[in-house]
Structures are given as structure tokens and as C-alpha cells.
Amino acid sequence: MTLKLPIYLDNHATTPLDPRVLDAMLPYFTQDFGNAASRTHAFGWRAEAAVEDARESIARLMNAESGKEIVFTSGATESDNLAIKGVAEYYGDKGKHVVTTVIEHKAVLDSCKRLEKEGFEVTYVGVGKNGVVDPNDIEKALTDKTILVSVMLANNEVGTVQPIAEIGKRTRARGVLFHVDAVQGIGKTPFDVRAMNVDLASISAHKIYGPKGVGALYVRRGKPRVRLGAQMDGGGHERGNRSGTLNVPGIVGFAKACEILEREGAEESKRIRALRDRLYTRITKALPDVIVNGDLEQRLPGNLNISFACVEGEGLMMAIKDVAVSSGSACTSASLEPSYVLRAMGLEEADAHSSIRFGIGRFNTEEEIDYVADLVIAKVRKLREMSPLWEMQQQGIDLKSIQWAAH
């Protein structure tokens, strides 16, 4: 079999649509195109039936009690915004304090920043060197005024899985609502909203081989029943939580993606983890001075985030341009700042600049992994030959002893 280039290893950014998902969606564009809110004819009824079935499939993947707890959105950015701002709006009278972590996605962090402008206080809890938050640190941050804690299930850069169950125990005991951004972790690492005492959870279809532009927010209905201030006003769809005509084909595809994960997720994770370990072992056997960023065990199966000492991340990405990956290097962000997640983990800035994120997914093959490993090894060697830092390090010069002129 011949290898097809380019190779996609950026499955944290988005995933390809599973062909089975596409098949499920297609009828809802043309034949069954009805508006799920049309109560007066069969077109509407069929669309509504499809959406209600979809709610159940999505609810099942996270072990929610019922499909009624699922609010459809345009994606997890909107779900995160709705959860945080919606809780703040509804419960703000009870207290104006929110707790989150420094490694959350921008959709969470910037929603919190917005609350700060509106008079809320937000505590950003740090993480250990391994990229995992300590549940006791979350507990210590809670005050009488805390109304919400928001912690992600798995980090999108380093793939570290956070101790959701441990945090859920503590928030439930204190009567504080608990939101989880489960975008990266759902279907890949255990997630059970009931067992873990989660009150709100954001998920997104395009990260699980579903279509882009559709997401959901789980909103607990039973003990405690969670209420939200709506952020989108209009026709009162989604029980008033989120107005707007539902994206029926997207929702059907989302549900299909969840059904596939529910059935195949455990097996798939094993296979993907084996590929990840293969990539890691091959690279580290051949190359010295490779640092894994984030805990290697408490981690998504498909994530490998590593820094190649003395090789700049964007430079390396250019050398392996037939392989789609991403980097925590400053050069890849508009801000020219290296990844805030890696810095929050206490990584040296130089190592943050040297980081590459490999995101392995459903459609990657062993052949692709071997190709990528060989390519990375060859290019890192070449770039190290060109790196003044590597030369100095090999000569035993401590790079930290040099007075670098910042620019």
C-alpha cells in the first residue's frame, strides 16, 4: 500500500468526518429538511423525531439521565460561553466568584475574563509540572461566594486528563455548580456526568468525527436542577436556553458520531494509544534530549506533546510539512507568545518554543506513524546540526549561563 501525503496528525484541532456520520446526515439536507420547531406537519415532526433521538444518543455517551438535559449549540465555544455566563447571570445574586484553571481553553478563560469585567472575581488555579490540577487546590479556592467551578476533562495541548471525579465530589459537597469542558476527552477517557457529579458539560461534534458547527451543553435537570440565563434570545428553542433553528443534519451527525464512540471508543482508544506509544518509542530511541510535556499516564491516548531540545517548533514543522501537526512555539500564534499551557506547567520558554503536538486519531495507520517517526528523526538531526544551541550544549556549555539579549 502506498502512503498518502499529507498525513493528518492534528486530531485535537479537528477530526475528519466519519463516512458513517455523513451517510446518516445526508437525508436531512434534502428529503427530511424540515424545521424541528414546525409542529403542524410531517416535515417538522420527522426533523423533531430525529433531533429527539439524537439527544438520547448524546446523553447516553456521558451517562446523562435524559436527552432533555442536552442543549444544542453551534459548538463548544458557545457551550462554554453559555455555561459560564449563563450560570453567572442566573446565580450571580448568590455570589460572584468563579474558580477555573490556568490551562483551560480560551472559550472558558475569555468567558471568565468577561465576568471579571462585570464585577465577578475569578480564581485561576495552577497546575503541576505534569499539567494536571490538584483537586485540593480547587477546594482551597472555594469561598462562600463561589457559584461555579469550571475544569476541562482533558487539555487540548498536552492531553492531560484532569481529576474530574475528585473535583466533582468536592463541589457537590459544597453546593457549588461544576462545569466540565469535555470536548477533548469524551469517548476517549471515562466521562460519566452522574458518577462524577458534573452539572454542566460542553462537547463538540467536530472533535469526535462529526460535523463542524454543532455542539451541546449538558445541563443537569435532577438534583440539583441547573438553571441558566440564556445568551441568545429569540424563538425560545431548547427550552428557552438557546434560541435558533436547530441544525438538524448537524445534530443527526453529532448523534451518529456519539453512537460510534459509545460502541467502538474503548477498542479505538487502545489502538490509538498503541500508535502513540509506537511513535514515542521510535523517536526517543533514536533521539536524545526529547522531553514529554505533560503526564504520560494521565493522558489522552492519541496525544503526544514533546519538545526537541535546541530545535524550534515552527522550524521543525516546516521541515515535516507533509505532516500536519501543531506547535506551542510562539511563531505559530499571532501573539508571538509561546503556549500559555506549557508556560503554566513551568516549562522553560525555550522548551515551549521547541514543542510539537502530535494528535493521533481514528484514521491514522501504523504505516503513517512509522513514516512520521522516521521523518521527524531525520529532520531533528538536520536541524540540530544547524542549531547553535545544540552545538553549545554538546560542548557542555550551560545555555542558562549565557547573557542573552532579549529582543
Dist. CA 173–CA 175, nearest whole Å: 6
For residue 19, count other CB atoms closer than 10 A to its CB. 9
Expressed in percent and rounded to 5, the helix, strand and coil fractions of the chain are 45, 15, 40
Q: Which is nearer to another protein, 213 or 315 (CB)?
A: 315
Of 43-51, 60-68, 178-186, 342-350, the segment contacting ligand PLP by CB under 6 A is 178-186
**CB 194 to another protein: min, Å:** 45
Q: Contact between 350 and another protein (CB under 8 A)?
A: yes
**CB 286 to ligand PLP: min, Å:** 30
When CB distances are held under 5 to 8 angstroms depending on the partner's kind, the choice from ligand PLP, another protein, none that residue 388 binds is another protein
Q: Contact between 59 and ligand PLP (CB under 6 A)?
A: no
The DSSP secondary structure of 332-352, one letter per residue, reads GSTT----HHHHHTT--HHHH
Residue whose grid cell is 493528518: 8
Contact (CB, 8 A) for 57 and 82: no
Q: Contact between 310 and another protein (CB under 8 A)?
A: yes
Dist. CA 391–CA 306, nearest whole Å: 21
Integer angstrom CA distances of residue 133 from 46, 113, 157, 160, 230? 45, 20, 15, 9, 30
- Give yes or no: 331 in active site: yes
Backbone angles phi, psi at 73, to 5 degrees: -135, -175
Q: How far is CA 65 from the centre of its chain?
A: 23
Of 70-78, 132-140, 232-240, 367-375, the segment contacting ligand PLP by CB under 6 A is 70-78
**CB 162 to ligand PLP: min, Å:** 11
Q: Contact between 342 and ligand PLP (CB under 6 A)?
A: no
Residue whose grid cell is 448568590: 94
**CB 396 to another protein: min, Å:** 16
Q: Which is nearer to another protein, 166 or 348 (CB)?
A: 348
When CB distances are held under 5 to 8 angstroms depending on the partner's kind, the choice from ligand PLP, another protein, none that residue 119 binds is none
For ligand PLP, the binding residues (CB under 6 A) are 75-77, 80, 105, 107, 152, 156, 181, 183-184, 204, 215
Positions in the binding site for another protein (CB under 8 A): 310-312, 314-315, 318-319, 329-331, 334, 336, 338, 348-350, 353, 385-391, 399, 404-407
